[in-house]
Amino acid sequence: MTRSGWLACAGLAVFTLMGCNHPSADSTPSAASSALTTPDPTKPDATADDNAWGKYLAALGKLHGKDVRMRPYIYVIPSGDSAAAASRRQEEADSISHSIGPILIPGSMLIVGGPEGIQTETFLLGLSKELKAGALKGIVILVVSDATRQSTIANALKPTDATVRFVAM
């Protein structure tokens, strides 16, 4: 192997080892610092755009999905009864049931939420009817909605075998 080949291999090995997150003896967290938790991010206004809601849902996913091995799929459920909002909700349901659902790998995560808890609930109730029993086995669904909707949503998604986590907004 040429000298430049050895240097490239050595450099790659150094970068690989630097990427490993091995705790050192001095870096053990104290009991006080490990007891601190990160507060939930601030909920955007109901009139905020999808970008703000997407960032909010992503931040909640980071807090409540630390055991998830893959990047989450985030679904911002639009509010309102307009034709455009209804069409987008249907497109998102189709995306989960026909496109994303069949290719999800156990350990994946869906984050679903939006400005109106009733729309999120209606979306998930409709989606649960479209999915086959056991279709989301091993998948975590993080539902961000009103606390009053938790049992209805969890019961509707039970046949899918998804692990449902609920964050009240």
Phi first, then psi: give them for residue 20, nearest 5 degrees. Answer: -70, 140
Give the confidence band of 2 by pLDDT, cuts at 50, 70, 90: low
The gap from C-alpha 134 to its chain's centroid, in whole angstroms, comes to 19
Q: What angle do CA 151, 154, 157 make, to 5 degrees?
A: 150
The gap from C-alpha 118 to its chain's centroid, in whole angstroms, comes to 20
pLDDT computed for residue 101 by the predictor: 72
Strand blocks (E) in 25-157? 73-76, 109-113, 140-145
Mean pLDDT of all residues in 121-130: 94
- What percent of the chain has pLDDT above 90? 59
- Sign for the pseudo-dihedral over CA of 21, 22, 26, 31: positive
Q: Three-state DSSP class for 153?
A: helix
Q: What does the domain layout of the chain look like in residue ranges? A: 41-168
- What percent of the chain has pLDDT above 70? 78
Mean pLDDT of all residues in 82-104: 88
pLDDT computed for residue 97 by the predictor: 85
Q: Which helix (H) or strand (E) holds 76?
A: strand 73-76
Verdict on whether the full-model pTM lies above 0.85: no
Using one digit for the tens of pLDDT, what is the confidence trace for 6-50?
Answer: 444 444 343 333 444 444 444 444 444 444 566 779 999 988 999
